Amino acid sequence: MKTELENIVTYNGTALIETIKESAGKFELPDSANKKPFKGKLIKISPQDDITEWGQIYKCPAKIGQTIWYRNWSSEVVDIGGKDYIFVKFRDIIAGEE
């Protein structure tokens, strides 16, 4: 039997990211302290490329399981199994850890 996360399929050049909240020591920073870019773990990638309305093609620059930094143009965070996830276009992934 598949878990709820395994049942999710991403489309149209998007990646499913598990959000990582940064903290300062033992105190978590308030939401107002969050500045772009955001940090997360890449969970799933769509098989399609991210194609802009002008025809620019973006391929996913990172691998599943990699920690990445991304721009968050969407405030749509979804709760899956008690963890926060966000869908991000490939063009908004700006860096990753090796």
Count the neighbouring beta carbons within 10 Å of the beta carbon of residue 91: 18
Q: What pLDDT, on the 0 to 100 scale, is given for residue 37?
A: 81
What fold is seen in the domain 14-96? Answer: 10 Kd Chaperonin, Protein Cpn10; Chain O (2.30.33)
What average pLDDT score do residues 29-55 get? 82
Tokens of 83: 């963890």
Q: How confident is the prediction for the chain on average, in pLDDT?
A: 85
Could you state, in order of their start, the residue ranges of all structural domains in the chain? Answer: 14-96
Structure-model confidence comparison of residues 10 and 24, the more confident one: 10
- Residue 33 scores a pLDDT above 60: no
pLDDT digits (tens, 9 = 90+) for 3-13: 788 888 899 99
- 57: Cβ contacts below 8 Å, ≥ 6 apart: 49, 50, 51
pTM above 0.85, yes or no: no
Tokens 């149209």 locate to 12
3-class SS shares of the chain: helix, strand, coil, % to 5:
5, 45, 50
Rounded distance, CA 49 to CA 11, Å? 9
Structure-model confidence comparison of residues 18 and 1, the more confident one: 18
Q: Radius of gyration of the chain from Cα atoms?
A: 14
pLDDT digits (tens, 9 = 90+) for 65-89: 999 999 887 667 889 888 999 999 9
